Amino acid sequence: MSTPRIRLPSRAAPGEIIEVRTLINHPMVTGVAASAPRDMLARFEASIDGVTLFDFAFENGSAANPALSFPLRLERTSTIRFVWTHEDGRRFEAEETVQVG
């Protein structure tokens, strides 16, 4: 598992909707083929100040090296927290701040 990669603008106008692009390297082995044991991320979550704004549940049909892109509307300067959680409970985290105003 590598460090997650996040792409977003460093600045935004109040109320602007920005595009957030995320990527994490992970094989996402489902175990369906029985050639390898299951090794899957369960969940992705993006939050600001502890409030979840977007979350995503990975399923068997989610591709390896999950890339998720989604919009966020920012009203003020915000630190966005990104958390990927493995099915075994491990967490992988990243943070990015966008200056608004």
Partner 1 sequence: MTLPRRAVLAGLTGVAALTLLPRPLAAVEAAPDAEEAIAAILRGREPVEGGLVLEMPDVAENGAQVPLTVRADSPMTPEDHVTAIHLIATRNPTPGLGRGRLTPGMGRAEFTFRVRLAEDQEVLAFAETIDGRVLAAAARVAVSVGGCAT
What's the Cα-to-Cα distance from 54 to each of 38, 43, 60, 82, rounded to whole Å?
26, 11, 20, 10
3-class state of residue 74 by DSSP: strand
Contact flag: residue 14 with partner 1 (CB under 8 A): no
Contact flag: residue 33 with partner 1 (CB under 8 A): yes
Binding residue (CB under 8 A) for partner 1 from 29, 83, 94, 100? 29
Q: What is the DSSP secondary structure assignment for residue 27, as one 8-state letter? A: -
Contact flag: residue 13 with partner 1 (CB under 8 A): no
3-class state of residue 73 by DSSP: strand
Least distance in Å: CB of 89 to partner 1? 20
Near partner 1 by CB under 8 A, which window of 4-12, 27-35, 85-93?
A: 27-35
Q: State the greatest distance between any 2 C-alpha atoms of the chain, in Å, as a whole number.
A: 52
Q: What is the DSSP secondary structure assignment for residue 24, as one 8-state letter? A: -
Least distance in Å: CB of 69 to partner 1? 4
Least distance in Å: CB of 70 to partner 1? 4
